[in-house]
Structure 1
């Protein structure tokens, strides 16, 4: 009923000589030379078209001088090369950004594709365990594209069938060292394809001065620093809650004061109110005049201020019920931002159990019901463990500054954040290099973003307080 395949007869063979194994050699089907030549020609043409499509600038740099030399001689080719170099040098000196965008980064991408990634691709894939060797063949993920930016190489990869993102996220250290980069980050481009980001240098190594106070009145998003790609870091505080976690000296004050600085024009006209809880009595006390009577330092005062914020929230909820589903800041109903510095002292390390439960209940009410009525919470803490802050998951937007342990990264940013490249435990403890540097995970995206908050000095804070008082 079934066709007998070559080799099925081997089980019926009997050797009459002891100690002599039956050797079976399968039938070999020889491929005609014409078919082999057609296959190689097709692969060559497909690779050539792919090269021209993905790297047109680099291909033209190599092909045009060769064609000119073949048609008109090598002297004309040298003249053409000299003229092209002169024009490109003038272009680069006159308008460097357009030169880099249209020519520079593309040439660098081609060089990195050939000399770094294609050259070491097979070795890195096999040694790291991302490639497979089956039945004498190497199955490797496909290197699709390399794109260069001002600070990193963006590599697009097509995974093997059956691979998962976690297989790559677990090997970011292998990939980084294999391609001579400081780190590696993994994100999903689409089904079956990944984007690997290999930084070439750190654009956030230099501290940022305080951001200028905005001219326009707005409740956000506010500019609090810069992202790794050079774009401004805009933090949204209206309609969300923000958790800032970091060790001592990590720069939590930079995030808090940069946020307040960005909201200052709205505070002046009465569209925003900052309610400050400062149990440490050190960080927020510099700008106490900014908060007026909405400043609390002792645990009892903090509990009373939180209860007042809950009362405002509930009163607005009663008025807004059936009328509106989102909050628009007005002078009558301003956006209320409750800033809590060292929230762990109030929720975990407070000796008065009744007071601790009262504070935890108020914070839980604000983080679960305050967004729709214009009451937001920005909380900062050092220890992100669940028993320290039980409402940790009620903060949609999270910021992880320098942390002491690798496990704390996932506690703050969510499971798998460190595997995707959020190495908050590797941030430098030197203030000039690492203060204010962190990773942000927004509610709309699971991929961490590396940022640095601007440093707001004591003189800047005093100037802000004097400007509001005036």
Structure 2
């Protein structure tokens, strides 16, 4: 019996739990009446017709003029009008090429780029880049307000979606550049929800730049040292600031230093400016020693030079106290530029700890107190890490030549510089002197290239603008 009961139990299938019954409620679909669809199309067409004369006045005006001429005078009148307009444009292009390029060629190019590049690829690029926003099952994109072209770049003015910030765009500059086929993308904020995306079409700084002509009356607040990416001259301010130049070996630090010295050479000859040079390598600056009022090439003499500059600065500040608020370069109170090549040798690499401490204290004093009394520090180094140079924030103006790592860009130019397109770590090694500059009061980095000053140029500078040497620094340090 037991055996049969067990057998019957074995044949009885186990009871399985019944799954909960699932119910799905489908969202009712309401068909939009055709009259509403037609009305929306008509509204869009009217919007295009109303905005077209505003956005494309030349194209719309030309089309309207040709249509009117053809209607009133027929085919002959239209042909004569086209021939006359073509002759006028050719004459304009031949006689006044600059104005034709600015007023006609660039406008036509902007319209063409807007249609074939940005309007065509705008939605897929922004969606893939993660700049499309969704709300209640609708997708919102930043809108193109205007496209303008310069001789080297496209500028796309964009209105952002409400609730987004320019930082969202700055974090996607690499995706935007590759999406629209540009070498880079830089973001400029004009106002709330109003930004400009700048896409270079070609590199205007690819060709080397020879030494610039020496100005007759140099402006120490705007010295010509090279060219900017937009084709305008690059002017570097020295009077009233301090400048830090950072770049790896071969990046072109010497081009920046010598271009600055070259631009201020007439003031050196007149005695209203002096250059005090520190050259631990004894290679870069030693070639033009005749231009320098003071020169040092060892750790001890360099510290003596810096401490002499501190003493002169403090003496001048004491004389100015309560009498004068701004420095005016004169022969009695010249503008002094302390050029420090490979400043890391003094602040981090010198074997004598006391020399490093004294050098760092002197540099900190000069950079924190010297600008108002006519003392400027122009320092160059290779490694911007804090343990090598912890005085970066005391230099208002900074120049980033080619760097080793992406993280070093923000170390030199400040937080957010790389997101704004300052890719100094991606500068081609075959382009020495190309750099990104960030000046005091402006968060926007500017791409520039310093002119190359060759040995013959330096020889000519020494011969024509050599400075009267002062007492040797070693003697002052010993005293």
TM-score normalised over the length of structure 2? 0.89
Deviations 1:20-49 (A, max 9, x none): 73636559596693x665554444333333
- Partners of 2:34 and 2:207 lie apart in 1 by 64
Counterpart of 1:15 in structure 2 is: none
- Partners of 1:181 and 1:271 lie apart in 2 by 46
**Alpha-carbon contact 1:436-1:454 (below 8 Å) kept:** yes
Counterpart of 2:356 in structure 1 is: 356
Counterpart of 2:225 in structure 1 is: 224
Secondary structure, in 3 states, of the residue corresponding to 1:176? helix
**Alpha-carbon contact 2:397-2:439 (below 8 Å) kept:** yes
Counterpart of 2:13 in structure 1 is: none
Counterpart of 2:8 in structure 1 is: none
Is 1:188 paired with 2:185? no
- Partners of 1:384 and 1:429 lie apart in 2 by 19
- Partners of 1:49 and 1:454 lie apart in 2 by 50
Alignment of 1:151-300 (within 5 A): 151-292=152-293, 294-300=294-300
- Determine which of 448, 451, 464 is the counterpart of 2:448: 451
Which shifted more, 368-377 or 325-334?
Answer: 325-334
1:183 Cα deviation from its structure 2 partner: 1.0
**Alpha-carbon contact 1:218-1:266 (below 8 Å) kept:** no
1:281 Cα deviation from its structure 2 partner: 0.5
Secondary structure, in 3 states, of the residue corresponding to 1:58? helix
**Alpha-carbon contact 2:268-2:466 (below 8 Å) kept:** no
Q: Which has the larger radius of gyration?
A: 2
Secondary structure, in 3 states, of the residue corresponding to 2:371? coil
- Partners of 1:70 and 1:135 lie apart in 2 by 50
Counterpart of 2:403 in structure 1 is: 403
**Alpha-carbon contact 1:219-1:272 (below 8 Å) kept:** no
Which shifted more, 303-312 or 38-47?
Answer: 38-47
**Alpha-carbon contact 1:247-1:383 (below 8 Å) kept:** yes
**Alpha-carbon contact 1:209-1:454 (below 8 Å) kept:** yes
1:75 Cα deviation from its structure 2 partner: 4.5
Alignment of 1:47-446 (within 5 A): 47-292=48-293, 294-430=294-430, 434-446=431-443
- Partners of 1:244 and 1:436 lie apart in 2 by 11
Which shifted more, 52-61 or 158-167?
Answer: 52-61
Which shifted more, 454-463 or 78-87?
Answer: 78-87
Q: CA RMSD in A?
A: 1.9
Which shifted more, 194-203 or 22-31?
Answer: 22-31
Secondary structure, in 3 states, of the residue corresponding to 1:188? strand
1:201 Cα deviation from its structure 2 partner: 0.6
- Partners of 1:182 and 1:20 lie apart in 2 by 55
1:444 Cα deviation from its structure 2 partner: 1.6
Alignment of 1:35-46 (within 5 A): 40-46=41-47
Counterpart of 1:11 in structure 2 is: none
Is 1:21 paired with 2:18? no
Could you list the runs of 5+ residues in structure 1 that have no partner in the other structure? 1-17
Secondary structure, in 3 states, of the residue corresponding to 1:73? helix
- Partners of 1:337 and 1:98 lie apart in 2 by 42
**Alpha-carbon contact 2:343-2:381 (below 8 Å) kept:** yes
**Alpha-carbon contact 1:58-1:106 (below 8 Å) kept:** no
Given the superposition, is the C-alpha separation of residues 125 and 469 from structure 1 closer, same or farther in structure 2, using an over 3 Å criterion? Answer: closer
- Partners of 1:29 and 1:65 lie apart in 2 by 44
Secondary structure, in 3 states, of the residue corresponding to 2:235? strand
- Partners of 2:103 and 2:198 lie apart in 1 by 21
Counterpart of 1:461 in structure 2 is: 458
- Partners of 1:138 and 1:181 lie apart in 2 by 26
- Partners of 1:241 and 1:162 lie apart in 2 by 39
1:319 Cα deviation from its structure 2 partner: 0.9
Secondary structure, in 3 states, of the residue corresponding to 2:163? coil
1:60 Cα deviation from its structure 2 partner: 2.9
Secondary structure, in 3 states, of the residue corresponding to 1:21? coil
- Partners of 1:54 and 1:330 lie apart in 2 by 54
- Partners of 2:257 and 2:207 lie apart in 1 by 20
* Matched residue count: 448
Given the superposition, is the C-alpha separation of residues 380 and 156 from structure 1 closer, same or farther in structure 2, using an over 3 Å criterion? Answer: same
1:218 Cα deviation from its structure 2 partner: 3.4
